[in-house]
Amino acid sequence: MIIKINDMSDIPIYQQIRNQIVAGISEGKLEPGEQLPTVRGLATEIGINSMTVNKAYQLLKQEGYVYSDRRNGVCVQKNFIQKEQLSKAAMEELKCIIAEAKIGGMSKETFLQICETVFEEGNV
């Protein structure tokens, strides 16, 4: 999986890394138990400070998407806790996305159709 950083984005780089790894897990591009690049290796590969990658990995660990193994480094979690609700942060982000869609005049049906497409395919 290739991480692409958008330097022009308002989204912090560590969050972009986190989001792309979560999407990679969701889409099956990263398998359970798969080893992620080392902090230093990923930082060098994408040309950023290693502390930024470390912050992304720490966030992923806190959220339960990855775990640390002394021998293998950071790996994708093998078992995920099944959730029936979004986190508080995700719910706030979703509210903002819905507000933007409403302001832009998007119908509920179109919005839900886009959501279904993204849920099923991982992209629009």
Task: Please report the pLDDT score of residue 124 as a whole number.
Answer: 46
Q: Which residue has the tokens 């509210």?
A: 95
For the chain, domain boundaries: 13-76, 88-121
Mean pLDDT of 93-97: 94
**Total-model pTM:** 0.82
Q: Under 8 Å CB-to-CB from 101, ≥6 apart: which residues? A: 111
Let me know the angle formed at the C-alpha of 72 by 50 and 70, rounded to the nearest 5 degrees.
Answer: 85
pLDDT tens per residue across span 34-91: 999 999 999 999 999 999 999 999 999 999 999 998 888 999 999 887 888 888 888 9
What top-level class would CATH report for the domain 13-76? mainly alpha
Task: Please report the pLDDT score of residue 123 as a whole number.
Answer: 59
Question: Could you give the 3-state DSSP secondary structure of residue 92?
Answer: helix
